[in-house]
């Protein structure tokens, strides 16, 4: 008889969801690994490792619609904020205050406050106890993509017709 996944997970010092993923990548059928997987467990798995499973599945329709709407309106301004913070390496413990950003980096952005709130909602920005901000390291790939799109838009706009 095999070991319970939870004890094997602890023994190997691997998070349980990652253990299941490793076993699945070896060809072990999910039914053989874990006979009953409820929707809550699946939603948890998708949320912690959505890079392998695509966009988070657990979002409600309203959240997805809201995110699409937010992507359309102000996407370039949000990308500009992310670009500047990425360029200045404001990740993790390296933080910056909202006042510094507003007064030194984004004086010409009238919707700065709104875009900051949107970035917080989308979890691209994190806010510490002191009220300072940093980019979310777990969104690094998304940030790099956003920066690449922003740079392309900026270059396309500067070339002109």
Global pTM reads 0.54
Return d(Cα 130, Cα 50) in angstroms, integer.
30
Report the CATH number that the domain containing residue 87 is assigned in CATH: 1.10.10
Residues 81 and 97 in one domain: yes
For residues 81 and 103, membership in a common domain is answered with yes
Task: Tell me the per-residue pLDDT of 70-125, one tens digit each, with 9 for 90 and over.
Answer: 445 688 899 999 999 999 999 988 999 999 999 998 888 989 999 999 999 989 99
**Co-location of 82 and 119 in the same domain:** yes
Share of the chain above pLDDT 70, in %: 66
Query: What is the number of structural domains in the chain?
Result: 2
Q: Do 9 and 86 share a domain, yes or no?
A: no
Domain boundary among 37, 58, 79: 58
User: Do 54 and 79 fall within a single domain?
Assistant: no
Looking at the fold, whether 127 and 102 belong to one and the same domain comes out as: yes
Average pLDDT score over the chain = 75
Same domain for 54 and 131, yes or no, is no
In this predicted structure, which of 9-13, 17-21, 48-52, 77-81 has the lowest mean pLDDT? Answer: 48-52
Question: In the listed set 42, 58, 74, which residue is the last one of a domain according to the structure?
Answer: 58
Are 89 and 13 members of one domain?
no
Q: Are residues 146 and 74 in the same domain?
A: yes
Residues 94 and 138 in one domain: yes
Same domain, yes or no: 135 and 74: yes
User: For residue 26, is pLDDT > 80?
Assistant: no
- Residue 124's domain comprises 64-159
pLDDT of 61: 44
Strand partners, 125: 135
Query: What pLDDT shows up at residue 33?
Result: 61
SS3 content of the chain, % helix, strand, coil (to 5): 65, 5, 30
The alpha carbon of residue 67 and the mean position of all alpha carbons in its chain are separated, in whole angstroms, by 13
Q: Do 31 and 98 sit in the same domain of this protein?
A: no
């Amino acid at each position: 008889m095999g070991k319970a996944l939870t004890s094997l997970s602890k023994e190997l010092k691997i998070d349980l969801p990652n253990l299941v993923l490793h076993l699945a990548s070896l060809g072990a059928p999910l039914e053989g690994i874990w006979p009953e997987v409820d929707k809550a467990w699946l939603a948890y798995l998708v949320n912690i490792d959505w890079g392998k499973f695509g966009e988070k599945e657990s979002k409600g329709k309203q959240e997805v619609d809201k995110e699409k709407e937010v992507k359309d309106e102000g996407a370039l301004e949000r990308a500009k904020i992310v670009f500047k913070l990425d360029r200045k390496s404001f990740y993790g413990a390296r933080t910056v205050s909202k006042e510094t950003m507003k007064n030194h980096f984004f004086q010409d952005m009238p919707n700065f406050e709104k875009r900051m709130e949107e970035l917080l909602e989308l979890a691209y920005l994190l806010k510490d106890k002191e009220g300072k901000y940093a980019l979310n390291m777990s969104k690094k790939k998304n940030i790099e993509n956003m920066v690449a799109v922003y740079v392309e838009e900026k270059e396309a706009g500067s070339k002109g017709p």
